[in-house]
Amino acid sequence: MPRYVVFGQPVGHSRSPAIHRAFAAQCGLALRYDRCEVAPAAFAEVARDFFARGGAGANVTLPHKAAALALADVADPAARRAGVANVLTPVAGGLHAHNTDGAGLVRDLHERQRLTLEGRRALLLGAGGAARGVAWNLLDAGLAELLVVNRTERAAAELVARLEDPRAAAAPWSALAEAAPFDLVIHATAAGVLGQPLALPSGLVAAGGLAYDLSYGSAAAPFLAWAARAGVAACDGLGMLVEQAAEAFAIWHGVRPATDPVYAMLRASMPVAASLA
């Protein structure tokens, strides 16, 4: 049976095995999908060994996404420009890296959140790997403006320089207090994962706009709590998680599975409101 894995640290919480098993059942495919907890120092060796033993594909989550790209022999444009990869696939000629996070986010925004990105103004909070993984895709989807704001302003300026797009700009965190409201506010900092507070003014989201956290579960709780206090529509990144997995599944199996039933299954065990508790 072909073997798949998700590498991460920690990885015990990962929903990827459940998602890929559900996709496989839907498509009538037999496969094995496990979690593999591995420390950064051991990642390259463990991943190489997995593929040397015939592993058919790997998802890669924190903190190994940059190392995954470094390990690959070939990378798709999305992984190259972001500097991080979340999918590794053995192909003739070596290991191929993909980044499906940005495509997953845009798909969730369009299909599930029913948000048109064309002509909209968006704020991206954060300039690390998570932010880099989605920034280009948001611009590709037709945004009119993407403002990148990060705790360390220089990192935001560096990301904007890499984007090479006149619609993208950087601003200091202090500028948020005076910013005109945005149609979309994407939270891509690690504050929630680290259990650190997030200082945001209340008027960031325009009427009819959306606040979106790229993470889910307890990591999304502080941002979703802020959105609730601000009285704006908000969601976590569970839909993005399912959509990026479907993109990976399509790379591996040549068929894009239906994501709604799998999203519904996960959401039933993780209500958005519960993550606010």
The CB-of-210 to ligand ATR minimum distance in angstroms stands at 20
Query: Which residue's Cβ lies closest to ligand ATR?
Result: 128
> How far is it, in rounded angstroms, from Cα 170 to Cα 127?
10
The CB-of-95 to ligand ATR minimum distance in angstroms stands at 21
> How far is it, in rounded angstroms, from Cα 55 to Cα 49?
9
The CB-of-30 to ligand ATR minimum distance in angstroms stands at 33
The CB-of-261 to ligand ATR minimum distance in angstroms stands at 29
The reply on whether position 10 binds ligand ATR by CB under 6 A is no
The reply on whether position 191 binds ligand ATR by CB under 6 A is yes
Span from 39-47, 98-106, 185-193, 259-267 in contact with ligand ATR (CB under 6 A): 185-193
Which of the residues 35, 64, 65, 107 is marked catalytic?
65
Q: Which of 13, 152, 172, 260 binds ligand ATR (CB under 6 A)?
A: 152
17 within 8 A of 34, measured Cβ to Cβ:
yes
Interaction with ligand ATR in 35-64: which residues (CB under 6 A)?
Answer: 62
15 is in an annotated binding site: yes
127 is in an annotated binding site: yes
The reply on whether position 265 binds ligand ATR by CB under 6 A is no
The reply on whether position 155 binds ligand ATR by CB under 6 A is yes
Burial of 166 (0-12, 13-18, 19+ CB in 10 A): exposed
65 catalytically annotated: yes
| Binding-site residue set for shikimate | 14-16, 61, 86, 101, 216, 244
Contact residues for ligand ATR (CB under 6 A)?
62, 126-131, 150-152, 155, 189-191, 194, 196, 198
Q: Supply the residues annotated as catalytic.
A: 65
